[in-house]
């Protein structure tokens, strides 16, 4: 067994090592062979993965008295959770209850249902217009999310029992704070108080869960890749894995719980199921292994085309699809996005998940995706005042992907030259002949909106989300001489009359995908018949997300992951309420 002795390995170095292949589908062992063959390890619960989903499942099962083993195919633990901010979006959490804030069940479920399924939402329906199982998955998230956090605090799995509100300028607004169903639009995001921060919180959370297991002397195997499940009489009873160049067999009498991440770095699956996904923040191990492994034992697939989306700097993602950061909340106020026709197509300050979906608009007359690539345009003012707020560089010489021009015409020409070099990797996208004139017109309109403080096209700056997240992601550069924005809307400032002007080419990317096998409200993986597969559970990005394509608020990924890890462990150990 190799302990978690390399947890603090440089994660950026790990990103450079992408290229892991997907696990091949393998036929499970027949019942007779499973029953008679020997075992290298025997446990009650096997947790596969080591991020928020698998980590929470492991500590929850162990706290119930189960013998637990965690296995991780990468050489370090933590998964993509380990390079995240560690924020968890949780309804009705303990701080709300302490403060007397009533995050009502019916209201919260309605918000999530409307956001996840706007095309189906019916407030008069008992299931709000959703398929009963989809409704139950959302309801179970509400019912168990705060219990999962309470449990982690109660057993000291999170140091000093600490979580705290994740603050922007005030408690963080949800990503659809404006929906009428959202009655508590701020404050649901929690972060671990120890090691918190955008670059440390996830590493802290994952490390604390692993440390709790180690303190209990429960085994954690790294460099150990599960390749297939072992089935006896239609029940999953264990798994085979590759470890140190040999095959090991692990008996798990009560259940196998997968929390292994999505498939963002499996280019075959991306090509099959995503319209475009040029790069992802996920760790290189996110290759969708669970899709093939679960499929081999008859699992039913849920949605496979969903993801936790973010825009990415195209050229950075083409250089290495395992990117360090996405273009989350775009910085700057004298900044807009336009498509190849020079048209604005989205509120530039919307959440990364929702804004990225604008790339997938299809034009049936031209047979194209006109927003396949977008161009982030800004001036010297924004670059100077907000330099260092990704993707703005502190020093223009440090950014090979920054395109510049001393006039708008020069910038347009340089963008098109850059596109020509990238054409083999973009389907030949080039600027429309009218791009320059249309862009100038878009900028002129935007300048008028900035002066008036109202964006009639996309409502930029009109909602709490826009202004609060702008403050976090548009941090003012130390030493800048550029004055604060004097105009009515904090997020909008007119462009300078003279250059230089700048651009980045943005494309659709993701934190990770979130499609895969379908589960029920107990975290059990379902068979094609719709019945649960006994002994098999899933949580996190490796399963079809209970939120479908919606990102409810900061920490929506980790909130769902730790909740369903908790749910699965409670069910597998027979300790569900």
Same domain, 480 and 353: yes
Domain boundary among 192, 224, 248: 192
Same domain, 228 and 255: yes
559 lies in some domain: no
Asked if residue 565 lies in contact with residue 537, where contact means CB atoms within 8 angstroms, the answer is no
Same domain, 447 and 538: no
In DSSP notation, 98-162 reads: HHT----HHHHHHHHHHHH-TTT--TTSTTTTS-HHHHHHHHHHHHHHHHHHHHHHHTT-SGGG-
| pTM of the model as a whole | 0.93
Same domain, 236 and 139: no
565 lies in some domain: no
504 lies in some domain: yes
1 lies in some domain: no
In DSSP notation, 276-305 reads: ----BSS-TT-S-HHHHHHHTTTBPB---S
Asked if residue 42 lies in contact with residue 195, where contact means CB atoms within 8 angstroms, the answer is no
Same domain, 301 and 317: no
* Residue given tokens 């446990």 in the structure block: 43
13 lies in some domain: no
* Per-residue confidence (pLDDT) for residue 201, from 0 to 100: 75
Residues 6+ apart with CB under 8 A from 234: 533, 534
Number of domains in the chain: 3
Same domain, 178 and 242: no
Asked if residue 255 lies in contact with residue 568, where contact means CB atoms within 8 angstroms, the answer is yes
Same domain, 213 and 70: yes
- Compute the distance between CA of residue 256 and CA of residue 233 in angstroms, rounded to an integer: 16
Tell me the CATH number at 243: 3.50.50.60
140 lies in some domain: yes
272 lies in some domain: yes
* Per-residue confidence (pLDDT) for residue 169, from 0 to 100: 81
* Domain of 379, in residue numbers: 310-510
Residue 374 dihedral angles phi and psi, to the nearest 5°: -125, 155
Same domain, 325 and 401: yes
557 lies in some domain: no
Which residues of the chain fall short of a pLDDT of 50?
1-33, 35-36, 198-199
* Per-residue confidence (pLDDT) for residue 200, from 0 to 100: 65
Same domain, 210 and 146: no
Same domain, 314 and 421: yes
* Per-residue confidence (pLDDT) for residue 13, from 0 to 100: 37
Tell me the CATH number at 387: 3.90.700.10
Same domain, 140 and 226: no
Tell me 38's DSSP state: -
* Per-residue confidence (pLDDT) for residue 202, from 0 to 100: 78
Same domain, 380 and 461: yes
């Amino acid at each position: 067994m190799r302990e978690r002795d390399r947890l603090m390995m440089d994660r950026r170095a790990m990103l450079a090592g992408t290229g892991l292949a997907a696990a091949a589908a393998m036929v499970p062992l027949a019942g007779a062979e499973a029953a008679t063959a020997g075992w290298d390890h025997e446990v009650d619960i096997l947790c596969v993965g080591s991020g928020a989903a698998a980590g929470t499942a492991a500590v929850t099962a162990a706290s119930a008295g189960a013998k637990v083993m965690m296995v991780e195919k990468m050489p370090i633990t933590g998964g993509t959770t380990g390079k995240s901010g560690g924020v968890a979006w949780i309804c009705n959490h303990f701080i709300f209850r302490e403060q007397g804030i009533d995050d009502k069940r019916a209201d919260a479920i309605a918000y999530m249902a409307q956001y996840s399924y706007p095309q189906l939402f019916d407030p008069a329906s008992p299931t709000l217009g959703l398929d009963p199982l989809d409704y139950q998955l959302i309801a179970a998230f509400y019912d168990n999310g705060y219990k999962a956090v309470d449990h982690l605090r109660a057993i000291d799995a999170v140091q000093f029992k600490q979580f705290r509100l994740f603050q922007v300028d005030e408690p963080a607004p949800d990503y659809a704070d404006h929906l009428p169903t959202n009655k508590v639009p701020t404050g649901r995001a929690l972060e671990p108080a120890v090691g918190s921060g955008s670059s440390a919180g996830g590493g802290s959370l994952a490390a604390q869960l692993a440390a709790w297991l180690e303190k209990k002397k429960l085994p954690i195997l790294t460099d150990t890749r599960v390749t297939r499940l072992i089935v006896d009489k239609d029940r999953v009873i264990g798994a085979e894995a590759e470890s140190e160049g040999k095959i090991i067999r692990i008996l798990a009498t009560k259940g196998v719980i997968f929390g292994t991440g999505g498939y963002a770095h499996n280019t075959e699956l991306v090509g099959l199921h995503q319209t475009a996904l040029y790069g992802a923040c996920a760790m290189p191990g996110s290759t969708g292994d669970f899709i093939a492994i679960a499929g081999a034992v008859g699992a039913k697939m849920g949605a496979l085309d969903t993801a936790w989306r973010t825009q990415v700097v195209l050229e950075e993602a083409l250089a290495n699809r395992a990117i360090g950061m996405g273009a989350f909340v775009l910085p700057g106020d004298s900044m807009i996005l336009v498509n190849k026709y020079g048209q604005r197509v989205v509120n530039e300050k919307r959440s990364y998940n929702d804004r990225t979906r604008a790339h997938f608009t299809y034009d049936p007359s031209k047979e194209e995706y006109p927003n396949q690539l977008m161009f982030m345009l800004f001036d010297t003012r924004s670059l100077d005042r907000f330099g260092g707020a990704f993707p703005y560089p502190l020093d223009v010489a440090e950014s090979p992907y920054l395109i510049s021009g001393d006039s708008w015409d020069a910038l347009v020409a340089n963008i098109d030259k850059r596109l020509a070099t990238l054409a083999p990797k973009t389907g030949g996208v080039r600027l429309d002949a009218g791009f320059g004139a249309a862009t100038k017109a878009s900028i002129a309109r935007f300048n008028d909106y900035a002066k008036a403080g109202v964006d009639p096209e996309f409502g930029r700056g009109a909602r709490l989300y826009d202004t609060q997240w702008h403050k976090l992601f548009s941090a003012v550069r130390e030493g800048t001489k550029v004055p604060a924005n004097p105009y009515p809307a904090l997020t909008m400032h007119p462009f300078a009359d003279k250059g230089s002007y700048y651009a980045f080419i943005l494309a659709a990317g993701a934190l990770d995908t979130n499609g895969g096998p379908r589960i029920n409200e107990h975290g059990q993986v379902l068979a094609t018949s719709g019945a649960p597969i006994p002994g098999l559970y899933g949580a996190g990005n490796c399963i079809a997300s209970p939120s479908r394509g919606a990102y409810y608020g900061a920490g929506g990924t980790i909130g769902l992951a730790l909740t369903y890890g908790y749910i699965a462990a409670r069910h597998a150990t027979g300790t569900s309420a």
